[in-house]
Structure 1
Amino acid sequence: MFSGVTSLVNRGHKIKGTVVLMRKNVLDVNSLTSAQGLIGQGVGLVGSTIDNLTAFLGRSVSLHLISATKPDENWKGKVGKSTFLEGIISSLPTLGAGQSAFTIHFEWDDGEMGIPGAFYIKNFMQTEFFLLTLTLEDIPNHPNLKIHFVCNSWIYNAKNYKTDRIFFSNKTYLPGDTPAPLVKYREDELENLRGDGKGERKEYDRIYDYDVYNDLGNPDSNEKYARPVLGGSTLPYPRRGRTGRPPTNKDPKSEKRSDFVYLPRDEAFGHLKSSDFLTYGLKSVAQDVMPVLTDAFDANILTLEFDNFAEVDKLYTGGITLPTNFLSKFSPLPVLKEILRTDGEQFLKYPPPKVMQVNKSAWMTDEEFSRETLAGVNPNVIKSLEEFPPGSKLDSKVYGDHTSTMKKEHLEPNLGGLTVEQAIEKKKLFILDHHDYLIPYLRRINSSKTKAYATRTIFFLKDDGTLKPLAIELSKPHPQGEEHGPVSDVYLPAHEGVEGYIWVLAKAYVVVNDSCYHQLVSHWLNTHAVVEPFVIATNRHLSVVHPINKLLSPHYRDTMNINSLARKALINADGIIEQTFLWGRYALEMSAVLYKDWVFLDQALPNDLIKR
């Protein structure tokens, strides 16, 4: 401890505190996620020296304790005298990596001030820091009492805030049980978090407000990058956090995109999840690596299609060997150079899936196709078959008759002696249905480089508890118009000759549809997007001292952060999702169409399983 500083402090009848914080350069999201910052600044991220921390001494950071038991004339908890951080604690067993602890002492008259339950903090430095905790002990007349404040918040220069930053002790209260001297402070803090709905949000803001998804497109750049607004009666969608950026020139309903995507500051916690790095890494590859690869190789090598299975297999056995002079192009991008390996060997080599490690052809079997329908990435669509042939909810006046063309004779030879009606009654038939939501978009999807079918797949539940595929229906738009209904063909299991290969291709079309649905609906929409308005609502309406806030906060961590990064590089117009998934530029729009059928109470077990 700095004896020269601490000797100036009169310790008589004072509350002792320990403040734990982290400096910006330890947790700086921007420096960590930049290509050069990740490796080039690595040295600066290691450790904390006494010299660097002396900047916190003196009168740089002040705190005021607030009473939870003694009100002032306005019935708000009395505010204690200002006090400042003192010496750094050189050793504290509970400190984590990059954390620093400081002592602080508060003048406090127990008879007049009671027991503290909150505190104000002001930062007079130009650089922000991350405040983790404050612990109080030596409370007058309460020798065994320790009061903990879990803060986990960025503290910017005090001039950036309209009202002083306040934190409450780590004790929960329902609104009716909140100590009266803290009630007004609690209400004022919620009002600050709601904001006024005006202006463009700044990096240091902590405002939780709602907006529609109107920042995915970039119509000012090119009309092909225009995207519809998601949110509202036409294309309903969960709300995102409001950023307040100005509208685009060509579409006043759309918001201008920028490199900075605001989210409430404390949602951008510095300890990044791997998915954050993945987002930035993929964006770097898309923007920096692919153009160079295109120049370095014959264009045919980097097409978006595989000509045969051998090309697919090469990604797992050999990868791509880069030209010897290729890495010299990445001297300013050390992260990418690291990703591409120093020798340039086996770039884009992937570990083989577990199923292929056992048997390279196992993925082609009906057993594996059925197993992955339940145990793969998307077990969320398959449901019990309740009518045969499967019907459609599409408007027949617009899209014609979309009743399935499957016949009983397609299924009954493989039902173990049961009729279709008996199998349905015994809950033995299941359907993986990717038909109705695809049909309205299929003609537009197929007008691009990709080609797809709407699919229906029927499975039979065997006595051993496993599924067996019975038939796959592939449907495409009628060449004479939507009102004529689809052109559909039914394919049955085959394992030899041309029919065997066609059956494998039919299953591939099903898997592609299921994979797209997983990523855009089961994953992005139903896992990420629908949670964001709950994050916003919780912070706007439930104080941090509310027990439900304490319960939900850990589950919300990183959600808004990941979602903002997704809007920046993954789900935006011509972003990674649109470039690599079948639905292309209609990906998010189609997820909005499917959101119309989303019901909150159906999401959890057992309701979801009962519904299906």
Structure 2
Amino acid sequence: MFGILGGNKGHKIKGTVVLMSKNVLDFNEIVSTTQGGLVGAATGIFGAATGIVGGVVDGATAIFSRNIAIQLISATKTDGLGNGKVGKQTYLEKHLPSLPTLGDRQDAFSVYFEWDNDFGIPGAFYIKNFMQSEFFLVSVTLEDIPNHGTIHFVCNSWVYNAKSYKRDRIFFANKTYLPNETPTPLVKYRKEELENLRGDGKGERKEYDRIYDYDVYNDLGNPDKSNDLARPVLGGSSAYPYPRRGRTGRKPTTKDSKSESPSSSTYIPRDENFGHLKSSDFLTYGIKSIAQTVLPTFQSAFGLNAEFDRFDDVRGLFEGGIHLPTDALSKISPLPVLKEIFRTDGEQVLKFPPPHVIKVSKSAWMTDEEFGREMLAGVNPCLIECLQVFPPKSKLDPTVYGDQTSTITKEHLEINLGGLSVEQALSGNRLFILDHHDAFIAYLRKINDLPTAKSYATRTILFLKDDGTLKPLAIELSLPHPRGDEFGAVSRVVLPADQGAESTIWLIAKAYVVVNDSCYHQLMSHWLNTHAVIEPFVIATNRHLSVLHPIYKLLLPHYRDTMNINGLARQSLINAGGIIEQSFLPGPFAVEMSSAVYKGWVFTDQALPADLIKRGMAVEDPSSPYGLRLVIDDYPYAVDGLEIWSAIQTWVKDYVSLYYATDDAVKKDSELQAWWKEAVEKGHGDLKDKPWWPKLNTLQDLIHICCIIIWTASALHAAVNFGQYPYGGFILNRPTLTRRLLPEPGTKEYGELTSNHQKAYLRTITGKTEALVDLTVIEILSRHASDEVYLGQRDNPNWTDDTKAIQAFKKFGNKLKEIEDKISGRNKNSSLRNRNGPAQMPYTVLLPTSGEGLTFRGIPNSISI
């Protein structure tokens, strides 16, 4: 398409620059400077402006043509000092509005470069922006380079005014080089760019910075506003270990010099901010609007003690809607993302979309079979364990917490074991446990002192029936001993019942279990084990792996938007007084509880096979696929997940083996070793001395590390995220709060267990205001943006020029398509009862692809929401 202009000497090569303006083609917002001689602003993309030499040019050309300059850098010819030759500064020229390859909201411009044989082959370029406003540089393409052909530069970066940078912005071609294989002319540029990204660790970060650095979670509290909003620093101590977040460098609070002052615009490196603006609008405005507008509106409309009186009232949120006071809906409706989420019928009716769990059956959620099935195929399917020891033991320090051994007896269980003894059921791998005891008992005294929370720490024992489903046998409800933690727990065991007060007690006991599980899911399985643990790897990768490095190219798609969504979470979701604290049981202790769980986090156990074996849900079996055999054959999360894990493993092995032939090559890769050392010692510094960290001495170490990172950021996150609204949107099924303990015999509340079981249940679980806030949040978190990029896909086909890597990636994509067909086939198999269950919800959350919206399927490449 583009060729050489002229002869051999002084030729010009034409290229194409693709970019997006800050305000998405709203060129009126971009003000030209006098640099380059253009003093007028354009009237718009298709408007007109007059250049200094006369004549009329289109608006985009007028704005950008003399305000963006590029200099090519040679990868094959040096400047006499050993560094790649730098060409003459060249400006963008004509706007190309009709280029067929343009993506949504992108614009292209032509550019011409002087070239001769003495310059060699371009391998990088400098770019300068002389405008006051930044733009998003998508790509630069040079075609018909003599003796070479086309060169692609995949940029995807915000470029600010040139005065914002100490060193000129540089971009590299889509080549791949290990550090010791870098062409000599590019060595200095590769090293300098990594130095730029690391920064000096000083000062407060500015919006235009591109600096990646670490800090502790010291920005969740707001002690200057209120003592009640003070929160401990997470990370940097044995008391509160935590993964690191991106450093912002804001000033400390007045009352606590260790805490950072809150901000409405938390810094993240600019390229981690959404360049694909649909997601930006959706998340930023959606989450912030809930915190700033929706939550206060609900509180003023319903009060803090609003109640549902009947189960039909909850179903009415989706069927008839809920009437709001006169001025309430008007405060919500102007926000575009909330208009999309809330269905309104008339001016004062708020209506949510029906969650999948009640689309077929309104009451299936109440059944014991569905209760057990959701531990295998629900929103938190990665916690259930095969019971190995009876009675269940605690891992808490007995010198602090006394004897926390379970009080469930053999007699409790054997009445529902169909003639089996507990020993027989144990030896046959037929007893399972959902154990929330240790995570909650240590905090329960504090939680139950809160005005809005009353609950138990729970253990649930289940039996694997002959048809492959799980039957709950007993639920243990435990409270801290009234005389002190060192005296252990006071526990009560509740057994299944289907009549009278005992049936309502059983239903409420299951609610205590689900509330434990909802909170553990949101704070640990979801936030901690995906969002928080991945951020240090994002930081370390950008600090130590050049964009030219093959492992950078492998991992980059799996970091997309993660720092951004985590920053939003620290502002509005997990912050002191934020949405999670207001609508989940632990309240102000929510994130602190996740720190206690992080103490036991093990990187290598995040690999799905290792996780399943550790939980006793699989046993090693070299003759079986994946080297293990599942204890429950119909375990949808594990069955589908293992296929995804295996596909990732094959792809990573195929890709990594293209660049490393030996273990010695891994050991000698300076960037790679610096990356892993810092990810462990700084990013996860509180656990750096744990013996389980891989040493990164072998090719297999590298493959395994990359597999765990990719699995965690893609499939694991998808498994615990995109089922949130389908299951939890019906608050009766997944309550987030319990507000009172089981009533005592002889009280009015105990009488309600028989006379009005719905009221007794509803007065125990999440109230109306908290439920509405929770539904609003999890619907946003369960949706896919229109520009999502899924596992097996790339947002740019030119991400590498390595044809073997592209072939391996295509093979990966084809394998995922096969897996998608197999999952759909299993969901149609009626003999697999856990795949649909009483609620008739096929297990679709690990289907690799999805459309836009609330689809209950799809594995994005990254933790992007």
What is the TM-score with the length of structure 2 in the denominator? 0.64
Q: Which amino acid aligns with 1:154?
A: W
Partner-residue secondary structure (3-state), 1:468:
strand
- Mapped contact 1:68–1:179 kept (Cα < 8 A): yes
Matched with 1:259 is: 264
Determine if contact 2:218/2:233 at 8 Å carries over to the other structure: yes
* Equivalent AA in structure 2 for residue 108 of structure 1: W
Rounded Cα–Cα distance in structure 1 between residues aligned with 2:372 and 2:284: 31
Aligned residue identity for 1:429? L
CA distance in 2, matches of 1:275, 1:101: 22
Residue 291 of structure 1: CA displacement?
3.8
Give the C-alpha shift of residue 59 in structure 1. Answer: 2.6
Indicate yes or no: 2:418 matched with 1:416.
Answer: yes
Structure 2 CA distance, aligned partners of 1:181 and 1:370?
62
Structure 1 match to 2:249 = 244
Alpha-carbon shift at residue 342 of structure 1 (Å): 7.6
Is the aligned partner of 1:202 residue 2:200?
no
Question: Given the alignment of the two structures, is residue 472 of structure 1 paired with residue 485 of structure 2, yes or no?
Answer: no
* AA partner of residue 502 (structure 2): E
Q: How many angstroms apart in 2 are the aligned matches of 1:131 and 1:325?
A: 43
- Confirm or deny that 1:87 pairs with 2:94: yes
Structure 1 position 147, deviation (Å): 0.6
Report the Cα distance in structure 1 between the residues aligned to 2:64 and 2:565, rounded to whole angstroms. 35
Is 1:191 equivalent to 2:189 in the alignment? no
**Which residue of structure 2 lines up, in the alignment, with residue 3 of structure 1?**
none
The alpha-carbon distance between structure 1 residues 292 and 236, as it changes in their structure 2 partners (threshold 3 A), is closer
Q: Decide whether aligned partners of structure 1 residues 181 and 282 sit closer, same or farther in structure 2, where only a CA change above 3 A counts.
A: closer
1:248-303 per-residue CA deviation (whole Å, 9 max, x = no partner) reads 11111110111121000011023256597356434324433444455455x4xx52
Give CA deviations for 1:405-436 in whole Å, capped at 9, x if unaligned. 01101111222322211211111111100001
Q: Distance in 2 between matches of 1:416 and 1:511?
A: 26
Distance 1:575 1:136, change over 3 A: same
Which residue of structure 2 lines up, in the alignment, with residue 234 of structure 1? 239
Q: How does 1:431-446 map to 2 (within 5 A)?
A: 431-446=433-448
Matched, 1:312 2:314: yes
CA offsets 1:149-201 (integer angstroms, 9 cap, x no match): 00011110000000000000011111111111101100000000000000000
1:234 positional shift: 1.9
Question: AA paired with 1:88?
Answer: H
Q: Greater CA deviation, 287-296 or 527-536?
A: 287-296
Match of 2:428 in 1: 426
Q: Distance in 1 between matches of 2:105 and 2:545?
A: 31
Q: Distance in 2 between matches of 1:417 and 1:92?
A: 74
Q: Distance in 2 between matches of 1:405 and 1:276?
A: 51
In structure 2, relative to structure 1, the CA distance for the partners of 1:316 and 1:98 (3 Å cut) is closer
What is the distance in 2 between the residues matched to 1:433 and 1:418?
23
Whole-angstrom CA distance in 2 between matches of 1:423 and 1:555: 42
Residue 117 of structure 1 pairs with residue 123 of structure 2: yes
Q: 1:67 to 1:253 in 2, by over 3 A?
A: same
TM-superposition CA deviations, 1:111-133 (whole Å, max 9, x none): x1111100000011111111111
- Assess if the C-alpha contact under 8 Å between 1:279 and 1:569 holds in 2: no
Are 2:494 and 1:491 aligned?
yes
Match of 2:576 among 567, 573, 576: 573
Kindly provide the amino acid, as one letter, of the partner of residue 133 in structure 2: T
Asked if structure 2 preserves the Cα contact closer than 8 Å seen for 1:323 and 1:344, the reply is no
Tell me the equivalent position of 1:15. 13
Give the distance between the partners of 1:74 and 1:598, measured in 2 at CA: 49
1:4 maps to which residue?
none
Q: CA deviation at 1:337?
A: 7.0
Give, in angstroms, the shift of residue 325 of structure 1.
5.0
Aligned-residue offset at 1:328 = 5.5
User: In 2, distance between residues paired with 1:496 and 1:352?
Assistant: 30
| TM-superposed deviation, 1:361 | 1.6
One-letter amino acid of the structure 2 residue matched with residue 344 of structure 1? E
**Deviation string, structure 1 residues 211-237 (Cα, Å, up to 9, x no partner):** 000000000111100000010222111
1:310 Cα deviation (Å)?
4.0
Tell me the CA shift for residue 77 of structure 1: 0.6
Cα pair distance change 1:115/1:331, threshold 3 Å: closer
Provide closer, same or farther for how the CA distance between residues 387 and 333 of structure 1 changes in structure 2, counting only shifts above 3 A.
Answer: closer
- Classify 1:276/1:484 alpha carbon distance in 2 versus 1 (closer, same or farther; 3 Å): farther
**Are 2:70 and 2:91, in contact at CA under 8 Å, matched by a contact in 1?**
yes
CA spacing shift, 1:282–1:161, aligned 2, 3 Å = closer
- Distance in 2 (alpha carbons) for counterparts of 1:330 and 1:246: 34
Instruction: Determine if contact 1:237/1:592 at 8 Å carries over to the other structure.
Output: yes
Superposed counterparts of 1:322-401, under 5 Å: 322-327=324-329, 339=342, 341=344, 343-347=346-350, 349-401=351-403
Which stretch of structure 1 is more off in the superposition, 252-261 or 316-325? 316-325
Selected match of 1:133 from 139, 155, 162: 139
1:306, distance to aligned residue in structure 2 (A): 4.0
* TM superposition shift of 1:307: 4.7
**Partner residue, 1:546:** 549
The alpha carbon displacement at 1:71 in A equals 1.5
Relative to structure 1, the CA distance from residue 571 to residue 312 in structure 2 (aligned partners, 3 Å threshold; closer, same or farther) is same
Please, which runs of 5 or more residues in structure 1 have no aligned partner? Answer: 1-6, 32-43
Q: Is the 8 A contact 2:343 2:352 kept in 1?
A: no
How far did residue 206 of structure 1 move? Answer: 0.2
Any gaps of 5 or more consecutive residues in structure 2? Answer: 30-41, 49-57, 616-865
AA partner of residue 132 (structure 2): Q
Alignment match of 1:99 (pick from 97, 106, 118) = 106
Contact kept, 8 Å, 2:326 with 2:348, in 1: the verdict is no
Partner of 2:223: 219
**Is residue 524 of structure 1 aligned with residue 527 of structure 2?**
yes
Q: Of 63, 72, 83, which residue of structure 2 is paired with 1:65?
A: 72
Cα displacement string for residues 43-83 of structure 1 (whole angstroms, at most 9, x for unaligned residues): x9x97656431333443111111110112222111111111
Equivalent position SS for 1:138: strand
Question: 3-state SS of the aligned residue for 2:255?
Answer: coil
1:443-454 alignment to 2 at 5 Å? 443-448=445-450, 449-454=452-457
Deviates most, 71-80 or 211-220: 71-80
Q: Which residue of 1 aligns with 2:846?
A: none
Distance (whole Å) between structure 2 residues aligned to residue 594 and residue 304 of structure 1: 33
Shift of residue 343, structure 1, vs aligned partner: 2.8
Partner of 1:407: 409
Deviation, 1:373, is 1.0
Question: Does the 8 Å contact 1:431/1:457 carry over to 2?
Answer: yes
TM-score normalised per structure 1: 0.90
**How far 1:326 moved relative to its partner?**
4.6
Are 2:518 and 1:515 equivalent residues in the alignment?
yes
CA, structure 1 residues 164+359, in 2 after alignment: closer, same or farther (shift >3 Å)? same
Contact 1:528 1:559 in 2 (8 A): yes
| Cα distance in 2, alignment partners of residues 374 and 262 from structure 1 | 39
